[in-house]
A and B are shown apart, each in its own frame.
Chain A
Amino acid sequence: MANKLPFEGIRVVDFGWVWAGTVLGHIMADHGAEVIKIESRKRLDGLRLGRVFELGDTLELNPAFHNNNRSKMSITLDWNSPKGHELIKELIKKADVVNENFTVGTLEKHGLGYEDLKKIKPDIIMIKLAPTGQYGPEANIMAYAPLMSAIAGIDSMLGYKGDRPLGFKHAYGDVMATLTGAFAMMTALRYKKRTGKGQYIDLSECETTSSLIGEPFMDYFMNGRVAGCMGNFRPGMAPHGNYKCAGNDKWVSIAVKTEDEWKAFCKAIGSPSWTKETKFNTLANRLANLEELDKAVTSWTINLGDYEATEILQKAGVAAAPVLTIEGVFFDPQFQQRGIFMNVTHPIAGDLTLYDLPWQASGLGRKAAGPAPTLGENNDYVFGDILGLSKGEIAKFQEEQVIY
């Protein structure tokens, strides 16, 4: 008999939407939890529509939605309606975890705050993700990922050295908050398994991001120093940067720290005369003449392909790697061999390529990969099998736009 999956038997009522609120649920679902995504035609997850909310066409096509909601179930329930409110409470009574990332106060306003839920399910775990957490003077802000990395402090350091901040161009705050949220949710489940107690978790997405830049905070508290943009410069390393290669917008990253690495680097690039100049002979001299050094390094990389330069350097034991876009990632031999994407088929969207979980291990219980559920796909199972409604009752609620 097959082993049970890690989270088998755990039921998550998942109000999470868009990005930060959804990925932690798919991680749970991928490893066997029954994660029920609560949706409604009256208030759709923005990702079903696409990032530009006004241009959405159908509700099943956005790849980002499939990435974030794979392996989950979906029900449509207008939990704002009196009858819907009763049904959601019945479902929460049979759940272990409630997950949400609405604007602060939304569920409380509808009688679904932690204090309300604790009364009907004393050992419930409720995890709430919000940009700046559930309380405090800035707790009511509206923020997407770019705003979170701005508030958290990390954007102030992302830019060319000594230049203006440019900001993180991926949804860094969202992804790190949802991963940290997954960890938090799992630790609370562990605590519940041991003690029988549920609890309430208030997760601030900006704070989880601030916790990723401990070093400049420590420097501020120790020395009052305020870190600015550093570009590709790192103290103690030279050369250190992304250098232009032959071809259209191709670059190779190179990092040299120790004296041995510098020697290996010089040898690998054929010991051109500039490598023997005094101004580059020590780390201190290389750092003092960084602009010239970078130009000299580029004079070598510019005639080579990004992978070509990488291989020459790696053979010599020098850290290097091509700078890849999503296209490069998709075709890269290392990623191809390790299989970082998976193919799934959706009844409406067709064949989809989704990212696979990055952790690789034999023996780690995983559910067979699938796409996100269609809107309301699991209404019959959830309302019928879990909540015990008859087919007639379900049809009536559908007609009344409660199950909608």
Chain B
Amino acid sequence: MTDQALSDLKVVEWGTFISAPFCTKLMADMGAEVIKVEPPVNGDASRQHGPFPQDIPNNEKSGLFLYLNTNKYGVTLDPTKPAGKEVFLNLIKDVDIFVQNYPYDVVKKAGLDYESLKKVNPGLIMISLSPYGLTGPYKDWKAYDINICALGGITAASGYPEREPLVPPQCQSHFNAGTQAAVVAMISVFNRDMTGEGIHIDLSEAQCWATFHIGQGAQPFLDENRIRTRSGYRVQHQAFTDAVYPCKDGYVCIDTPQNRQWKKFVEVMGNPEWAKDPMFNERIKIVDENPEKAEAFLTPWLMSHGKEEIYHLCQDNGVPAAPVRNVKDAANNEHLKVRNYFVEIDHPAAGKLKYPGVGYKFTESPFTVRRAAPLLGEHNEEIFSKKLGYSKTGLASLKKEKVI
């Protein structure tokens, strides 16, 4: 077996849907041994989410589940039942990291809160993901992705001024929080090396937006009352042009903050006469004053060129421009092929499929696919019998009680 960066770390995930599973996926992809604990019968909620091949629902073929749980072991266990709790405590005894995103009330009621787990594993690093945090007036509030995005401040600037604000696509609050959870899990590992002690991390998904993504805006708000609101496909307070425009076969994004970039862009368009309009001497004012006029000048050129053509013409001349690619464009992109970004994984139920890989290449301890996402309870015997020493009859009775 190849030695990977995190090969010596043992992780247990009692998680559902995206945030906790994405956190442990990042660690599993770098070699950590991740045991995923799923509720018996139905398993992780993402198993019912899809997408499914031919749109036929199947617990073992949900694309979201398969993507998020590659490289993990999977067991079924209900730790909220007394017999399940006992198994769970055995499981957690010698692991490094425990990641969970069920409501902390449920965790507490089951006696699996940090204070209790610390007694069986003093060095445990426990990461609790929740929508708003484990403290504060909203700690018990309910949330889906759209609510977390709204409170965290990422929604308010998306959309047209005259229409409703837009939540970002594809549950980004959970992916964002899962990424940040993986970062703080690593910091906690180094922290434990120094202190010898475990830790409980309280990570609020809304706070994950409000800090790294939005928090930069606090000082400009306090200084100048500068508040970013909806501006459609344009970006406020930026020099023209910083926007997404239609072109011949789709959309392009063009962003030219520096004067030399704008001049080059004008050259690429063939030095049209309109570019001499005095409005282009103060490009920072255009978005607030009359963007329509400036954009009307651009339109004929944009509409006579394709998105990849504009991308290459601009980039070859030092102009920051890019095509708005959809998943099909990306999936068939030559650059990503050369970099082997997508990986093929053979799953016992879903068969051979391509999956997105990871965005980084390590020379010594690279990302590898060691196993496909687990079938529901696939590793019950391996983990419970071989690892924890439960007998076959013991497991059979746990199964009968729907504990596993």
With A190-B5, A204-B339 as known contacts, state yes or no: A169 contacts B158, CB within 8 Å: yes
Give CA–CA (A141, B320) in the complex, Å.
8
Judging by beta carbons under 8 Å apart, are B164 and A232 in contact?
yes
Residue of A nearest to B337 (CB): A136
CB < 8 Å neighbour of A213 from B3, B187, B327: B327
Asked if A305 is an interface residue, CB under 8 A from chain B, the answer is no
For the complex with contacts A52-B257, A63-B223, 5 further pairs of A-B residues with Cβ separation under 8 Å are A63-B216, A186-B183, A201-B363, A219-B51, A325-B156
CB < 8 Å neighbour of A358 from B193, B207, B334: B207
CB < 8 Å neighbour of B136 from A141, A251, A334: A334
Residue of B nearest to A65 (CB): B216
Judging by beta carbons under 8 Å apart, are A335 and B207 in contact?
yes
Asked if A273 is an interface residue, CB under 8 A from chain B, the answer is no
Query: Measured between C-beta atoms, what is the minimum distance from A346 to chain B in Å?
Result: 11
With A199-B362, A207-B336, A209-B359 as known contacts, state yes or no: A355 contacts B179, CB within 8 Å: no
For the complex of A and B, list the 7 residue pairs with the smallest distance between their C-beta atoms, beginning with the closest.
A355-B215, A218-B63, A208-B359, A63-B219, A207-B359, A214-B67, A253-B150
Interface residues in B127-177 by Cβ distance below 8 A to A read 132-133, 135-138, 141-160, 163-172, 175-176
Query: Measured between C-beta atoms, what is the minimum distance from A122 to chain B in Å?
Result: 12
Interface size class of A (residues with CB under 8 A): 35 or more
Which of B169, B238, B253, B331 has the most C-beta atoms of chain A within 10 angstroms of its own C-beta? B169
With A166-B232, A176-B176 as known contacts, state yes or no: A321 contacts B356, CB within 8 Å: no
Judging by beta carbons under 8 Å apart, are A150 and B5 in contact?
no
Q: Which residues of A contact B154 (CB under 8 A)?
A: 170
Q: Flag B339-379 by CB within 8 Å of A: 1 or 0 each.
A: 10110000000000111111111111100000000000000
Asked if A395 is an interface residue, CB under 8 A from chain B, the answer is no
Give CA–CA (A320, B322) in the complex, Å.
36
Give CA–CA (A7, B233) in the complex, Å.
42
Judging by beta carbons under 8 Å apart, are B360 and A203 in contact?
yes
Question: Can you list 18 A-B contacts with CB-CB less than 8 angstroms, sorted by A residue number?
Answer: A150-B324, A165-B233, A165-B324, A166-B232, A168-B168, A177-B359, A180-B360, A190-B5, A201-B362, A213-B356, A217-B330, A218-B353, A222-B353, A319-B141, A355-B212, A358-B204, A360-B135, A361-B201
Give CA–CA (A188, B5) in the complex, Å.
6
Asked if B38 is an interface residue, CB under 8 A from chain A, the answer is no
Judging by beta carbons under 8 Å apart, are A136 and B227 in contact?
no
Asked if B251 is an interface residue, CB under 8 A from chain A, the answer is yes
Q: Which of A78-86, A240-248, A282-290, A380-388 contacts B (4 or more CB under 8 A)?
A: A240-248
Q: Which of A87-95, A104-112, A153-161, A396-404 contacts B (4 or more CB under 8 A)?
A: A153-161
CB < 8 Å neighbour of A155 from B26, B222, B324, B331: B324
Interface residues in B198-257 by Cβ distance below 8 A to A read 199-204, 206-208, 210-223, 227-229, 231-233, 235, 238-239, 242-244, 246, 251-253, 255, 257
CB < 8 Å neighbour of A169 from B50, B200, B228: B228
Judging by beta carbons under 8 Å apart, are A221 and B151 in contact?
no
Judging by beta carbons under 8 Å apart, are A353 and B331 in contact?
no
Which of A136, A187, A197, A198 has the most C-beta atoms of chain B within 10 angstroms of its own C-beta? A187
For the residues of B in contact with A, the DSSP-based class is mixed
Q: Which of B52-60, B80-88, B297-305, B394-402 contacts A (4 or more CB under 8 A)?
A: B52-60
Q: Which residues of A contact B35 (CB under 8 A)?
A: none
Judging by beta carbons under 8 Å apart, are A172 and B213 in contact?
yes
Asked if A369 is an interface residue, CB under 8 A from chain B, the answer is no
Judging by beta carbons under 8 Å apart, are A169 and B133 in contact?
no
Asked if A29 is an interface residue, CB under 8 A from chain B, the answer is no
Asked if B315 is an interface residue, CB under 8 A from chain A, the answer is yes
Which of B152, B215, B358, B364 has the most C-beta atoms of chain A within 10 angstroms of its own C-beta? B215
CB < 8 Å neighbour of A191 from B223, B257, B330, B364: B364
Which of B52, B229, B233 has the most C-beta atoms of chain A within 10 angstroms of its own C-beta? B233
Query: Measured between C-beta atoms, what is the minimum distance from B17 to chain A in Å?
Result: 11
Give CA–CA (A137, B316) in the complex, Å.
12
Q: Which residues of A contact B329 (CB under 8 A)?
A: 153, 156
Judging by beta carbons under 8 Å apart, are A218 and B67 in contact?
yes
Asked if A389 is an interface residue, CB under 8 A from chain B, the answer is no
With A218-B63, A337-B136, A340-B207 as known contacts, state yes or no: A255 contacts B251, CB within 8 Å: no
Query: Measured between C-beta atoms, what is the minimum distance from A166 to chain B in Å?
Result: 5
